[in-house]
Structure 1
Amino acid sequence: MTVDAPARFSPLADWQEAFGRLPAGFQVRELPFLTQLTLRVSADSPAAKAVESVLGIRLPSASRAELSEEVKALWLGPDEWLLVAPADTGAELVGRLRSAIGEEFATVTDVSAQRTVLSLRGGLTREILARGCALDLDPRVAPVGACYTTLLAQTGITLVVRAEAAASVWLLVRSSFAPYAAAWLVDAATEYGGGAG
């Protein structure tokens, strides 16, 4: 007897039509089901070096993200990173990381179901985010690769700057708060010609 894998549902599956009506200078797209692993390890420890060897990147320092490879590493705290990888790669990546870490002290936990990722693009992105986020996203302060845990309209998010002048960012938001964040983004865009109308 074979057991089918449980059905997966995107928390923002019903928002694609609303996202399609946003103004030309602001595009929102959900990147559902990405693999997300929480890594807890002391920086510069043998375990951290083993992880870096597997990933082919250096774990980023405070408020930074490493975006150059297939697996993105986002700094969350002094000994905590979020590793973001393509969908359905979690089990294989966890296995490789745990094997490399061996008996050293570190933890790798699959938290893929906790959050979804919103990809925001366009010249209005920084201006719209400024309406609900206290961060200064000026390129001199928040260059490409900046990574912050903050609030957007009272919703906890991790914000990753992916292009100059914050014209492309990722917002990682808890799945249960994703519809609220989506509604806020659509509403904030209405004065620029987009929104639910």
Structure 2
Amino acid sequence: MAELHGESPLAARAETLAGSSVPGAVQLSEVAFTAQITLRVDPKSPAAERIGTAVGTMLPNQPGQVARTEQLQILWMGPDEWLLVGPEGSAGRIQATLAEALGEDHGSVVDVSGNRTIVEVTGPRSRELLAKGCALDLHRRSFTSDQCAQTLLARAGVVVLCRDADEPSFWILVRASFARYLADWLADAAAEYRDRTRQAASVRTLANGSDR
């Protein structure tokens, strides 16, 4: 019997992302195989309170708000919808925890782990890079840590999550069918930082040579 082998949506773009990263400017990589569970429930119901107790934090109740536990990030996706993101291999456990807390109350728990992958964008130039294809105001005063938004990036529907506003770090959740397109766009958009680094290195080399 053949051994089953899973491949992430961006496995074929791993070298592209790594090669487009520029130390001191921007770093690009895939965060593959995360558990992603969609929860729908009335936020004012007893079930929502039970779910909050079960996962270790109350469900975010403000647009774009993100709650964290040691292993989970809970993204507000709508008035009665959340996306829970956890580490690889945890989808079954998260789903079971939510379903048990939901009980017989009205709501739904759906494993959507295969629907999206995540591109991580970090570094001092990460906001500038994303702003090339995104209409969101990504300034740290407007889009801060533990905040998310559904938007378009390079015309692809994504969820942008700010993980750290002080040392810029973003997760871009993108549908698997658009992942390679978005990776190629990010690599192209990051090219100017690579060119700047090369130009700066050339200038330093010339300057050092003139000093001899």
TM-score (norm 1): 0.92
- Give 1:147's aligned residue: 148
User: Could you tell me how far 1:6 is from its partner in structure 2?
Assistant: 4.2
Residue 118 in structure 1 maps to residue 119 in structure 2: yes
Whole-angstrom distance in 2 between the partners of 1:137 and 1:169: 10
Whole-angstrom distance in 1 between the partners of 2:93 and 2:166: 35
Q: Larger Cα Rg: Structure 1 or Structure 2?
A: 2
Whole-angstrom distance in 2 between the partners of 1:163 and 1:92: 27
Secondary structure of the equivalent of 1:170? strand
Higher helix share: 2
- Give 2:204's aligned residue: none
Q: Percentage identity across aligned positions?
A: 41
User: Could you tell me how far 1:165 is from its partner in structure 2?
Assistant: 5.0
User: Could you tell me how far 1:18 is from its partner in structure 2?
Assistant: 1.7
Residue 70 in structure 1 maps to residue 71 in structure 2: yes
Q: Which runs of 5+ in 1 are unaligned?
A: none
In structure 2, the CA distance between the partners of 1:13 and 1:106, relative to structure 1 (3 Å rule), is: same
Point out the more displaced range, 58-67 or 141-150: 58-67
Secondary structure of the equivalent of 2:187? helix
Across the aligned residues of Structure 1 and Structure 2, the Cα RMSD in angstroms comes to: 1.6
- 8 A contact 2:57–2:68 mirrored in 1: no
Q: Which runs of 5+ in 2 are unaligned?
A: 196-212
Q: Give 1:43-192 correspondences, 5 Å limit.
A: 43-60=43-60, 61-164=62-165, 167-192=168-193
- Give 2:22's aligned residue: 23
Aligned AA for 1:17?
E
Whole-angstrom distance in 1 between the partners of 2:99 and 2:126: 38
Whole-angstrom distance in 1 between the partners of 2:77 and 2:2: 35
**Count of residue pairs brought into register by the alignment:** 192
* Displaced runs of 4 or more, over 2 A: 3-7
